[in-house]
Amino acid sequence: MSVSDEQFEQYQREGYVVADGLLDTETVERVKTRLESYVTNERAEDQFSRMLEPAAEDGDVDFERDGEPVRKFEGIGMVREDDVFADLAHNDAILDVVEHLQGPNLKLLRAAAMTKPPGIGSEKKFHQDAAYYPVHPMDHVTVWIALDDATEENGCMRVVPGAHTDGLLGHEAVEYDTDIAIGERDYDLTDTVALPMEAGDVLFQHCLLPHYTAENTTENWRRAFIFMYARARSRFTDDDPPAWVDSHHISGEEFPGCI
């Protein structure tokens, strides 16, 4: 097991754990090459969506470097449509850790790639991932995979250790309907620990853990892949959930009436 008992205790206590070097270079490069093929429009996505950086959408920047200024790709369709992304979602080393936390019957709730382009990669404000998903119980796991080295300068993950035990906080909409931020508390950077990571390191994060990433002020992309896994026995708690709420079988059994 790549994550020790002490690290699993840290996950329970602080709401996160980083597994260093969980993915090898070949796996990371395969995913980055595939992502690039969407950014450069060599491939077109049918079953998932792309969002450009706000600065580019407002026409404030002339960004022609390496394709389009994509802020993120999002949608479970990423694993339904693309074999490389599907392989990543089923990666044994990742599932080993997730199954230890969530048991053997797993569904995928979210797939996304957050790409933070050079110079214009914008911040992601403080939020809890659970706020996007009306699911019970609220103990699903976000897996954040560093595809490039993530540093304080290019917008590495910052978390508020232990705050997952405070429950779900009130959120409000930011730039887009699908972009929300914690309104109920006034977190700032002094509440956080920065988690610089090397490409191939993987962060496992409790869905109630408040987190934040800053702008990318460097000349290079800061790409990360994100999956959210939940127990297959979980239930959607909203009869009319937001359009992005969906689930995809990953491992073990499925259960009627559950996600």
Ligand X SMILES: O=C(O)CCC(=O)C(=O)O
DSSP code for 150: B
- Interaction mask 90-129, ligand X, x per CB under 6 A: ----------------------x-x-x-------x----x
Structural contact between residues 155 and 215, judged by C-beta atoms closer than 8 angstroms: yes
Is 199 in a helix, a strand, or coil?
coil
CA 203-208-209 angle, to 5 degrees, is: 50
Q: d(Cα 169, Cα 64) in Å, to the nearest integer?
A: 39
Least CB distance to ligand X at residue 5 (A): 27
Nearer of residues 11 and 132 to ligand X, judged by Cβ: 132
The three-state DSSP-derived secondary structure of 8-35 is HHHHHHHCEEEECCCCCHHHHHHHHHHH
211 binds ligand X (CB under 6 A): yes
Give the residue with the Cβ less far from ligand X, 93 or 174.
174
Given 122, 128, 192, 213, the residue binding ligand X (CB under 6 A): 213
Residue 205, SS3? strand
191 vs 255, beta carbon nearer ligand X = 191
Query: Of the candidates 175, 178, 166, which has an alpha carbon nearest to the alpha carbon of residue 210?
Result: 166
Pairing of strands 193-195, 248-251: unpaired
Q: Single out the residue of 155, 164, 199, 231 in contact with ligand X (rule: CB under 6 A).
A: 155
Least spacing, CB of residue 166 vs ligand X, in Å: 18
x-marked contacts with ligand X along 162-201 as a string, rule CB under 6 A: ----------------------------------------
Nearer to ligand X, 72 or 105 (CB): 72
Q: Assess 18 for contact with ligand X (CB under 6 A).
A: no
Strand partners, 75: none
Helices (H) and strands (E) in the chain, counts: 6, 16
Kindly tell me which of 34 and 71 has the beta carbon lying closer to ligand X: 71
CB of 255 to ligand X, least distance (A): 27
Give the count of residues interacting with ligand X (CB under 6 A): 10
Least distance in angstroms from the C-beta of 69 to ligand X:
15
8 A C-beta contact, residue 72 and residue 114: yes
Of 82 and 148, the one with the shorter C-beta distance to ligand X is 148
Under the binding rule (CB under 6 A), the answer on residue 224 touching ligand X is yes
List of E strands, 89-192: 106-114, 124-127, 135-136, 141-146, 157-159, 171-173, 180-182
Least Å from the CB of residue 193 to ligand X:
15
Residue numbers at the binding site for ligand X (CB under 6 A): 112, 114, 116, 124, 129, 155, 211, 213, 224, 226
